[in-house]
């Protein structure tokens, strides 16, 4: 049989995944620190002048795994371009961000499903409910959230949750879909201890980023009560830069600053934080 383009593409992708798996095994064996940024918008226009340099800075800091969430259909090609450029480091999610749930949200959900029919993704996200800017489309956000949770279950994938000023509404939908096949990450977790424990009880890990370094962030006051097996690292770049860069453009290299803060909170080494949180991310994303 003469290999066609699809066959060649699949072979190349399988070879890349194998080589990446070998690298991870080697790194773990020889204690090479691997940090995982479980939520970064590398395609953001804020990086248009120095994207490659920014990614290299992250790699120099030990961040070699970048999980990239979707927003809406207008960003899809940017995501694919990133994956093509960094096939061993960039892993894509697909979903509809709650603040992009508007009058045409059914068309956007159709786009999400169409992309899933074409190829593999590593999670459904970012999805959820956001009432900070606008409450006009709450019902549509709830429907889109539930629909995408069901899509994740269908594809045996985790979810990546965006929640802002909507803990009650978010938990209401999650409780309605509670099951053994519900799992994922509560991205940019900023709730209290009770909300953290509730999220964990639903099969979710807590995405901890720059907020943990803020003086008024509050989550640093109770995180030590949460077992590290429930924590993953993230930046949400280019947003929410950790101290001492708060208020400036965030970037994935700052995952190391978050890891350093968690090492302080848990009284362990940064290497241990990196190892545990990377293993936790592998449990969610399957790679």
Residue 276 to residue 253: CA distance in whole angstroms: 18
Q: Phi, psi at residue 231, to the nearest 5°?
A: -115, 140
Is 251 annotated to bind a ligand? Reply is: no
245 is in an annotated binding site: no
What 8-state DSSP symbol labels residue 207? Answer: E
Query: In angstroms, how far is the first alpha carbon of the chain from the final one?
Result: 31
Alpha-carbon distance 232 to 66, whole Å? 12
What is the C-alpha radius of gyration for the chain, rounded to an integer number of angstroms?
18
d(CA 4, CA 93): 27
Identify whether the C-beta of residue 173 lies closer than 8 Å to the C-beta of residue 129. Answer: yes
- Token pair of 108 as six digits: 């956007």
3 state DSSP class of 159: strand
Is 162 annotated as a binding-site member? yes
Residue 39 annotated as lining a ligand binding site? yes
Q: Which residue has the tokens 């978050």?
A: 258
Alpha carbon distance 82, 9 (integer Å): 16
DSSP letters of 236-278? -BTSSPPTTSTTS---GGGHHHHHHHHHHHHTS-HHHHHHHHH
By DSSP bridging, strand 204-208 and strand 231-233 are parallel
Binding positions are: 39, 41, 126, 162, 187, 236
Binding positions for a divalent metal cation are: 39, 41, 126, 162, 187, 236
């Amino acid at each position: 049989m003469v290999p066609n383009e699809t066959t060649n593409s699949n072979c190349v992708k399988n070879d890349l995944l194998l080589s990446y798996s070998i690298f991870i095994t080697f790194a773990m064996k020889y204690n090479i620190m691997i940090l995982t940024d479980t939520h970064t918008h590398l395609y953001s226009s804020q990086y248009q002048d120095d994207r490659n340099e920014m990614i290299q800075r992250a790699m120099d800091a030990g961040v070699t795994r970048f999980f990239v969430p979707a927003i809406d259909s207008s960003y899809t090609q940017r995501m694919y371009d990133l994956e093509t450029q960094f096939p061993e480091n960039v892993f894509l999610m697909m979903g509809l961000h709650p603040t992009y749930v508007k009058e045409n949200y059914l068309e956007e959900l159709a786009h999400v499903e169409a992309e899933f029919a074409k190829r593999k993704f590593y999670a459904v996200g970012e999805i959820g409910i956001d009432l900070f800017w606008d409450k006009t489309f709450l019902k549509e956000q709830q429907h889109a959230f539930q629909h995408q949770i069901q899509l994740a279950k269908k594809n045996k994938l985790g979810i990546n949750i965006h929640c802002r000023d909507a803990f009650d509404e978010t938990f209401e939908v999650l409780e309605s879909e509670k099951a053994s096949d519900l799992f994922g990450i509560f991205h940019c977790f900023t709730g209290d201890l009770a909300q953290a424990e509730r999220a964990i009880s639903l099969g979710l890990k807590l995405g901890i980023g720059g907020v943990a370094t803020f003086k008024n962030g509050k989550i640093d006051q109770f995180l030590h009560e949460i077992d590290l097996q429930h924590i993953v690292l993230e930046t949400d770049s280019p947003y929410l830069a950790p101290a001492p860069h708060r208020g400036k453009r965030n970037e994935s290299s700052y995952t190391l600053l978050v890891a350093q803060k968690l090492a302080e909170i848990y009284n362990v080494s940064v290497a241990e934080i990196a190892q545990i949180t990377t293993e936790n991310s592998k449990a969610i994303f399957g790679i």
